[in-house]
């Protein structure tokens, strides 16, 4: 069961949502409300098809009914989704006593609605979650500082005690990441993923080289500790 009606909808595009729900009436109702809210909706009647659509279409959110036909129920499908990605998941459940499980760490659903639910309320929850995840993805635009070092992400400027310091683009990104994650031990691999990007296949020593440059340019102003055998910690 596949509905792509949202494509020729009102022209708004707030992203694609995969809706996994075997109750046709509920699915159609939710589909209608989401399309009216500007989403493209792809329906799946069972968990396997739902996971397949998520893999193919890279939706911004998944709505998952718990009671589904076939070998895999919604709980198991959530678990599988969590193994693969951190896509937001809203669970649709018919039973109040399932709520603790679906919101628990194990399944990590972002929110839930209990049947019967108001489609309007569901759309409001979906919007709230997407706003939250979008905000979390956006890099901070406020200047950050640690000690005498100030990093301005918008101007891409670094000052030490009000004196500008010239950094390369990569040095700047690395410093901004350190200053934005103060007090946290970051492994070289985490730094590669965050600053160089997950598609970058390079040696972890690249990180050490850039750290040496930062230390040379910023000197004692930057409180950056080497955590032996792990990586680095700023502050
Ligand atoms: Ca069901």
Distance between Cα 65 and ligand 1 center (Å): 6
* pTM above threshold 0.95: no
* Predicted pLDDT of residue 108: 65
Distance between Cα 154 and ligand 1 center (Å): 47
Domain boundary among 136, 154, 177: 136
Phi, psi of 51 (to 5 degrees): -65, -35
Full residue range of the structural domain in which residue 180 is found: 144-234
Angle CA(126)–CA(28)–CA(3) in degrees, nearest 5? Answer: 90
Distance between Cα 64 and ligand 1 center (Å): 9
**Mean pLDDT taken over the chain:** 86
DSSP code, position 226: E
For residue 100, name the pLDDT band (cuts at 50, 70, 90). low
Average pLDDT score over residue span 53-66 = 93
Distance between Cα 69 and ligand 1 center (Å): 7
Q: Does 116 lie in the same domain as 22?
A: yes
Domain with 25 in it: what CATH number? 3.40.50.2300
Q: Does 156 lie in the same domain as 70?
A: no
For residue 138, name the pLDDT band (cuts at 50, 70, 90). low
Distance between Cα 34 and ligand 1 center (Å): 19
Q: Does 81 lie in the same domain as 160?
A: no
Domain with 200 in it: what CATH number? 1.10.10.10
Distance between Cα 22 and ligand 1 center (Å): 5
Secondary structure percentages of the chain, helix, strand, coil, to 5: 45, 20, 35
Nearest to 43 by CA among 68, 66, 24, 67: 24
């Amino acid at each position: 069961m596949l509905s792509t009606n949202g494509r020729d909808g009102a022209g708004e595009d707030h992203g694609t949502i995969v809706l996994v729900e075997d109750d046709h009436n509920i699915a159609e109702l939710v589909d209608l409300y989401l399309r009216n809210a500007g989403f493209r909706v792809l329906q799946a009647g069972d968990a396997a098809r739902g996971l397949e659509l998520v893999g193919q279409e890279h939706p911004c959110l998944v709505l998952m009914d718990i009671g589904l036909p076939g070998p895999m129920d919604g709980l198991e499908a959530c678990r599988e989704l969590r193994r693969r990605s951190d896509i937001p998941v809203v669970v649709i459940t018919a039973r109040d006593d399932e709520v603790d499980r679906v919101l628990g760490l194990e399944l990590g659903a972002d929110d839930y609605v209990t049947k019967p639910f108001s489609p309007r309320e569901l759309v409001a929850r979906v919007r709230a979650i997407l706003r939250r995840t979008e905000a979390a993805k956006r890099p901070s635009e406020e200047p950050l500082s640690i000690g005498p070092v100030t990093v301005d992400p918008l101007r891409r400027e670094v000052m030490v005690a009000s004196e500008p310091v010239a950094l390369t683009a990569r040095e700047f990104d690395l410093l901004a990441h350190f200053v934005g994650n103060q007090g946290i031990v970051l492994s070289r691999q985490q730094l590669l993923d965050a600053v160089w990007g997950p598609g970058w296949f390079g040696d972890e020593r690249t990180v050490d080289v850039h750290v040496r440059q930062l230390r040379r340019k910023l000197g004692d102003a930057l409180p950056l500790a080497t955590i032996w055998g792990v990586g680095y910690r700023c502050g």
